[in-house]
Structure 1
Amino acid sequence: MKKTYELIAPCHFGMEAVLKKEITDLGYDITLVEDGRVTFLGDDEAICRANVFLRTAERVLLKAGSFHADSFEELFQATKKIPWEEYIPADGKFWVAKASSIKSKLFSPSDIQSIMKKAMVERMKGAYKVEWFEENGASYPLRVFLYKDQVTVGIDTTGDSLHKRGYRTLTSKAPITETLAAALIMLTPWNKDRILVDPFCGSGTFVIEAAMMAANIAPGMNRSFLSEDWKNIIPRKCWYDTMDEANDLVDNDVKVDIQGYDIDPEIVKAARTNAESAGVDHLIHFQQRSVEALSHPKKYGFIITNPPYGERLEEKENLPKLYRQIGERYAALDAWSLYMITAYEDAERYIGRKADKNRKIYNGMMKTYFYQFMGPRPPKRKAGDEFEK
């Protein structure tokens, strides 16, 4: 019988509900939803599938334990009680890669890291009957969260963060991460049957993520994961089966209308190269075009975009004009919706109307707003409409 683990998927703050739905859709039971994290139950196959298929998670951690500790002695003893030998082989390389502490008595990351490492060594010395560990095998880095003296310990199965899909080698000035872009698209009612335009496409993240969703391309198909080397926990066959499943689901013949524009021709070229790397260049129309030239003959489309915020002082002067242009071009589009992430606090004022919804989101350390201007829904198709010319 397969062993069941608790798995922790960290995500952007505010995106927990989106990630929860993704995990449920993959077929796994949620046990806990906290700020920036969703915990669920799964076996070795779930570790593979979560890494390959989740679009909005930052990584997947195998939960090794959780306990209360408000002194370093408590931290040492509780860490030592965790059966590390069940997770880490005798030649495994293990260390506390990251420790974060909020509202806890223990707050020094470096002290937490060194004390936990010592405790792990003590436990494993007893389990493996050795005094020294070569640590020349597979890597088992730990990520530790302390919140109100409650310690949660996870072993990182992912390696490089899941936002690193492997397609974005060229980036624009203020790129949005792939995981956040995917989560924001999922917060909208957009689907592959609807038009999507990003008039500030930059390195192409929004349109590429949308095209990958439309073609059912798993975000982790073109990269590797740390736990591929965990032969003591995950049989190699699990990874092969997961990749076979991902390949079988791809629909490269899907018909979509996805467009990415940018005023900078070099940026457009970079976006096109990124789309080729992601295998979706045939699904996206890229073009050098300014926002004031934005138009579309059809109704019920979506603008999903990350326009300039004016990070530099000289750029700030241009923002009123730029956001006024966004508002004018959006007003000229018939029955469209506009979804926009920006740190510019006067965005609504210059767009010329108040958003139907507004969500505060931290993009890295920057406070941004996700403004949602919702257009009407298209009428339901009548039977036989699909046969009309």
Structure 2
Amino acid sequence: MLAFKKLRTVEDIFFSLQEKPFKLIKISQFKSNFKVSADSFRIAVFRSIELKNFLYGKKARSKSISYISFVKQDVDHGSARKAVSNLLNNLFVTAFPNWRCQDPGNIECWGFWSKDDLFVGIRITPHSVRARDYRNGERKASLRPTIAAAMAVLSNPNERDRVIDPMCGSGTLLIERGLLSSYASLQGYDIDPEAVKLAATNISNANLRDANVKSCDSTTLHLETESADILLCNLPFGKVYGNKETNTDLYIRCLQEWGRVVKTGGRAILLTSDTKCFMIAHKHINNYWQITDTFRFKVMGIYANCFVLHKT
């Protein structure tokens, strides 16, 4: 149970309302399929509260208890989404008539609508799990800590790793790698001095040793050849930073320079939504890098690819 508190690649944990998903072939048929008694729902809510208190400590009891229901969907279902969230709220009305519905609520009920299936659960994780206590501030297009943690996992962490992030922004990738497991060093670079200041503050808040950040152009790093084992980077998508017209040239120059800096046999974990420009750049510099795996993430509503590259 306590292992839940150490999970870094998840934003939320839910207490499931049922073993199998409810069927949502037609919204008009959902009421007949959505058979949950007030007693069973009441038991599920109380168990979720007990589990949350056990994992994260019991908070002072509020004078009144509130709830709210949300529905996430894989595709837009229009007004049907609101209809489903209203049905979830009605469960609270029936089971807990003295509680009130408001946003934010003390208790959150979430429905996850995927194709014709609806998975329902009560959120047991506090906001701090997704927000991270070390984050003093953020920049536009900052990477979500959970995605940064997943990228760090993909690097196959080793205690001898010399890790660099040549576009470190607020430092999230470096910090999540540092908090994941032991390492030799963490080095961050960013062309924006304000980003460097923010990253330094966040790294200090995370209490990481042997971690430094400097202002530097990612295409001309002041590092010795083959001086890094792992390179992590959230590349410009061409949305907030960079643009589609210049990304190809930027990616080519980056892959060239990073191929010099990362040792043979080392790894690069790179995230971008501009897959077309990245593949053109990789084809141009394929003498340095071999793509060994690709993972698809959704980042701030935009689908992006995470490339795992091996330095040849």
Instruction: Tell me the TM-score normalized by structure 2.
Output: 0.77
Q: Cα offset for 1:134?
A: 6.5
Partner of 2:191: 263
- Residue 102 and residue 332 in structure 1: after superposition, are their counterparts in 2 closer, same or farther (change >3 A)? closer
1:260-339 equivalences under 5 Å are 260-280=188-208, 282-294=209-221, 295-298=223-226, 301-311=229-239, 315-333=243-261, 334-335=263-264, 336-339=266-269
> Within the alignment, does 1:348 sit opposite 2:279 as a pair?
yes
Change (3 A) 1:268 1:309: same
1:115-161 per-residue CA deviation (whole Å, 9 max, x = no partner) reads 23223332346xxxxxx44789x922111123455432211111327
**1:321-360 deviation line (CA, Å, top 9, x unaligned):** 3222212212323413322111222223224226333333
Offset, 1:173: 3.0
SS at match of 2:31: helix
In 1, distance between residues paired with 2:192 and 2:245?
A: 19
Secondary structure at the aligned position of 2:311 is classed as coil
Gaps of 5+ in 1: 1-45, 126-131, 216-254, 377-389
Contact 2:189 2:217 in 1 (8 A): yes
Partner of 2:45: 87
Taking the aligned partners of 1:105 and 1:325, their CA distance within structure 2 comes to 43
Q: Look up the SS of the partner of 2:252 in the other structure.
A: helix
- The residue correspondences of 1:232-271 to structure 2 (distance < 5 A) are 256-271=184-199
Separation of aligned partners in 2, 1:166 and 1:361 = 24
Greater share of residues in strand:
2
Distance (whole Å) between structure 1 residues aligned to residue 41 and residue 121 of structure 2: 13
Cα distance in 2, alignment partners of residues 67 and 190 from structure 1: 36
Q: What is the rounded CA distance, in whole Å, between the counterparts of 1:331 and 1:305 in structure 2?
A: 13
> Which amino acid letter does the alignment assign opposite residue 64 of structure 1?
L
Residues 178-193 of structure 1 correspond to what in structure 2 (within 5 A)? 178-193=145-160
Equivalent of 2:111, from 136, 144, 149?
144
Cα separation, 2, equivalents of 1:308 and 1:102: 26
Provide Cα deviations, 1:246-285, integer angstroms capped at 9, x if missing partner. Answer: xxxxxxxxx62110001111110010011112222x3311
Q: Which one of 65, 71, 87 corresponds to residue 115 of structure 1?
A: 87
Distance 1:169 1:78 in 2: 43
Q: Secondary structure at the match of 1:155?
A: strand
Match of 1:33 in 2: none
Are the structure 2 counterparts of residues 268 and 80 from structure 1 closer, same or farther at C-alpha, using a change threshold of 3 Å? same
State yes or no: 1:166 paired with 2:133.
yes
- Output the CA distance in 1 between the equivalents of 2:173 and 2:45: 38
> What secondary structure does 2:281 align onto?
helix
**3-state DSSP class of the match of 1:190?**
coil
Amino acid at match of 1:347: F
| Cα offset, 1:106, TM superposition | 10
Q: 1:291 is aligned with what amino acid?
A: S
Amino acid in the other structure paired with 1:163: R
Paired AA for residue 277 in structure 2: D
Say what the alpha-carbon RMSD is for the aligned residues: 3.2
How far apart are residue 112 of structure 1 and its match?
A: 1.8
Q: Does the CA contact (< 8 Å) of 1:343 and 1:369 recur in 2?
A: yes
Where in structure 2 are there 5+ consecutive unaligned residues? 50-61
Return the match for 2:179 from 199, 208, 212. Answer: 212
Does structure 2 conserve the Cα–Cα contact (< 8 Å) formed by 1:358 and 1:372? Answer: yes
Distance in structure 1 (CA, Å) of the matches to 2:33 and 2:68: 13
TM, length-normalised to structure 1: 0.63
Equivalenced residues, count: 282
Partner in structure 1 of residue 70 of structure 2: 98
The worse-fitting range, judged by mean Cα deviation, of 86-95 and 199-208 is 86-95
Q: What letter corresponds to residue 32 of structure 2 in structure 1?
A: E
